[in-house]
Structure 1
Amino acid sequence: MKLAQFLIVLFVFLSMGSSAQNDTLKVLFLGNSYTAYNNLPQLVSSLADADDKQLIYDSYTPGGTLLWNFANNENTAQQLDTTAMHKIKSENWDFVILQEQSQVPTIDHYRYNFMYPSVMKLKDSISHYTPCAKIMMFMTWGRQNGGQQCSPDNYCSPDFVDFSHMQDSLESAYLGAAEAINACVAPVGIAWKNIIENTNTVLHSTDQSHPNYRGSYLAACVFHAALWNSSPVGNTFTGNLNNTEANSLQTSADSTVFDAFSKWNLDAYEVTADFNFNVFHDSVAFTNLSQSRSPVNYYWDFGDGNIDTVKTPTHIYTSNGSFTVRLIADYCSSRDTTEKTINISTTKSVEHHFKENFEIFPNPATSNLVIHNNGTKKGTVKIELMNTLGQIVITRRETTAQNINISLNDLPAGFYIVSIRDEFSGSKANFKILKK
């Protein structure tokens, strides 16, 4: 593919997607009353508006609902169009946020037999219906005074001595769920813990379980930081709080998210472009070292007017010089670019004439490769096969008979470079083959 074609492909690729991370996000909230109280999604949206961003959201938050109900498409509202699975299918979400029922993570029986299997099942459904969506676990908070949590069928948690003791259990459960599916975490409960342990601010409502407005506002600040990778400190949306109170909650959310950014796995969906290469005369074997989730797209610009979109290409240059090779790795709306310089130094005019004397067939090959000599005078040639890692896997010295047979039986399938070098004149020719 030539550079002009590449630029067209690249333009289309960069134009793809319904939203840009810096401007607009589409977010689906799946949870229960902890998400619904004080209309948490709208609070997150208001913070975004004040930061010149746009949050397009939907939510499904029936009171008391478990992720198990969502994962198994149990319709608690008895309306087909409000099931969690219908919501997942309805849009190409940038994020899907999962919030478990508040007691389930603290009870081992429910954590391991209900919460974790549900998270994995929901991950499969989200990946199937909206493959570019990032999954974020909404880490909730403990009861105001701790205490023992028991289910109707008499499975119980430890008897937590206070809020912080219960919060430790919730933290462990949500981090475990995120690790199981390599998702990220919105550490709302930890922001609550930092406020409760260091100030006199009350975040619970009178039932000692649900959030009051301050608690929901703090949660919204955590989501703002986690979703946008943007500090909420100084945000002009303060709701019904005074500036001092809002700034304190904004600051707690900021430090909670960004002081332990990797702990919350908030870079789980980032992509890093990287590669190395091995130069073999005029041929270069590239090794793709990029790190990203699937589906990932690769765009190679070899610096000589040619490009490729395979993961690990091999490229033959037709002139001497220094070439800047660029690799773009793209995962959904995340992309990264890296460049490296390659120096090619060969005697092209002589080699081009030398190369015309040989044919290689079949290509693709299976078990045997034939090098057919059309005109080179008898002499000794050195034949080498190099894999895409730059490793020489076959070396032969042959008299330039009309046909030279090379067995490929011991080689794995893949692309190889065949190098033929005249040991008298130094002339050489390279060919790219595919072994099936």
Structure 2
Amino acid sequence: APSAPPAPVRRVLFVGDSLTYVNDLDLHVRHFAEAAGYASPSLFIDRAVKGGAPLKTLWKKTDARQRIAKEGFDVVVLQEDLPETDVATFHDYAARFHEHCQAAGAATVLLMAWPYERLDWISTEGIAEAHGSIASRLGARVAPVGLAWQRALKEKPKTRLYAKDKEHPALLGTYLAAAVVFAVLWCHNPSGLQHFAQGAVSTQEAAFLQRVAWETVQSYGAHPARTSLRAVSSCAGDRERQDLICKLFSALDADKDSILSAQ
């Protein structure tokens, strides 16, 4: 008998610090998912967060581990505040969380954040390298948010991604982060989705940030399959298979767009 089709991502846990919970990143990701047609009673996106906490602290002093083990998440998004810690410690606790996620049947996505002035010892490129190297070693996914911020600011330097403290995200920064994470989790182009943060993001801003998010994800090669390790256990650790599946979906989306534009 043919195997069942892959199940979509339904249960997501964000593990991070204030870079995640300021402006409610998880809520914006949910809104993108709903706008894309993934809404259902089983869609559950939540967070285990602690202010100023690197993954080491989140591992030791929150209930994140217990929740991952017990609550049946499809995907766990790990956000390290890399300027707050060092690369070796980040790699250590990313690996611990990843092993814990694998044991629970959850996929791991590393949310690559951005540099900031208060702790300026590491650049966007350094943060990207730190995430890319550990992701390659673990077979984990990366949501390249920091690179999307860099791309957006290069194209439109006046875009207000940072809050006034030049560390935390302003609403547009969270919006761009959410678009990147959504694109990675669902392998879905966010461009054109009707999510404007209750009118706080203009249609022009939304279009720009959605495009930047998708371009960054495509250029980084961070697409996951539209599924979870819990739903398709054979995908565990098989990054090439997931990439092939997502390239197929991307090609189908491109064909659909070309057909519609020709009509």
Assess same fold via TM > 0.5.
Answer: yes
Are the equivalent residues in 2 in contact too, given 1:70–1:84 (CA < 8 A)? yes
TM-fit CA distance, 1:141: 0.8
1:141 matches 2:114: yes
What whole-Å deviation, never above 9, does each CA across 1:262-301 have from its counterpart, x for those lacking one?
xx3646x899xxxxxxxxxxxxxxxxxxxx55599xxxxx
> How far apart in 1 are the matches of 2:184 and 2:140?
12
- Name the count of aligned residue pairs: 231
SS in 2 for 1:14: coil
1:244 matches 2:204: yes
Alignment-derived partner of residue 415 in structure 1 = none
Question: Which of 192, 200, 208 is matched with 1:234 structurally?
Answer: 192
Alignment-derived partner of residue 182 in structure 2 = 224
Alignment-derived partner of residue 29 in structure 2 = 44
> How far apart in 2 are the matches of 1:123 and 1:226?
17
> How far apart in 1 are the matches of 2:20 and 2:194?
22
1:34 matches 2:16: no
Residues 177-192 of structure 1 aligned to structure 2 (within 5 Å): 177-192=134-149
TM-fit CA distance, 1:45: 0.3
TM-fit CA distance, 1:246: 0.8
- State the AA in 2 paired with 1:62: K
What whole-Å deviation, never above 9, does each CA across 1:125-147 have from its counterpart, x for those lacking one?
1122x12x11000000111xx47
SS in 2 for 1:236: coil
> How far apart in 2 are the matches of 1:244 and 1:124?
41
- State the AA in 2 paired with 1:14: A
Higher relative contact order (CA closer than 8 Å, sequence separation 6+): 2
- State the AA in 1 paired with 2:67: K
> How far apart in 2 are the matches of 1:295 and 1:204?
35
Question: Which of 70, 79, 84 is matched with 2:58 structurally?
Answer: 70
- 1:147–1:28 Cα change, 3 Å: closer
Structure 1 residue ranges (4+ consecutive) displaced by more than 6 angstroms after TM superposition: none
SS in 1 for 2:190: coil
Structure with more of its chain in helix, by fraction:
2
1:253 matches 2:201: no
TM-fit CA distance, 1:183: 0.2
TM-fit CA distance, 1:63: 0.3
SS in 2 for 1:38: coil
- State the AA in 2 paired with 1:89: A
Residues 26-425 of structure 1 aligned to structure 2 (within 5 Å): 26-54=11-39, 55-71=43-59, 73-75=60-62, 83-104=63-84, 110-112=86-88, 114-128=89-103, 130-131=104-105, 133-143=106-116, 146=117, 149=120, 157=121, 166-199=123-156, 200-239=158-197, 240-261=200-221, 264=222, 266=224, 293-294=235-236
Are the equivalent residues in 2 in contact too, given 1:65–1:101 (CA < 8 A)? yes
Alignment-derived partner of residue 14 in structure 1 = 4
Unaligned segments of structure 1, at least 5 residues: 1-6, 76-82, 150-156, 159-165, 272-291, 297-329, 335-436
> How far apart in 2 are the matches of 1:33 and 1:138?
13
SS in 2 for 1:137: strand
- State the AA in 2 paired with 1:47: F
- State the AA in 2 paired with 1:94: D
Aligned-residue Cα RMSD (Å) equals: 2.7
- State the AA in 1 paired with 2:16: G
- 1:26–1:34 Cα change, 3 Å: same
> How far apart in 2 are the matches of 1:57 and 1:229?
17
Unaligned segments of structure 2, at least 5 residues: 246-263
> How far apart in 2 are the matches of 1:294 and 1:187?
21
- State the AA in 2 paired with 1:111: V
- State the AA in 1 paired with 2:46: D
- State the AA in 1 paired with 2:4: L
- 1:219–1:46 Cα change, 3 Å: same
- 1:294–1:42 Cα change, 3 Å: closer
> How far apart in 1 are the matches of 2:235 and 2:32?
29
TM-fit CA distance, 1:101: 2.1
> How far apart in 2 are the matches of 1:295 and 1:227?
16
TM-fit CA distance, 1:20: 2.0
Are the equivalent residues in 2 in contact too, given 1:234–1:247 (CA < 8 A)? yes
> How far apart in 2 are the matches of 1:59 and 1:233?
25
What is the aligned-residue identity percentage? 27
> How far apart in 2 are the matches of 1:258 and 1:119?
24
> How far apart in 2 are the matches of 1:44 and 1:227?
10
- The alignment's TM-score, normalised by the length of structure 1, stands at 0.49
TM-fit CA distance, 1:229: 0.6
> How far apart in 2 are the matches of 1:58 and 1:90?
14
Are the equivalent residues in 2 in contact too, given 1:116–1:177 (CA < 8 A)? yes
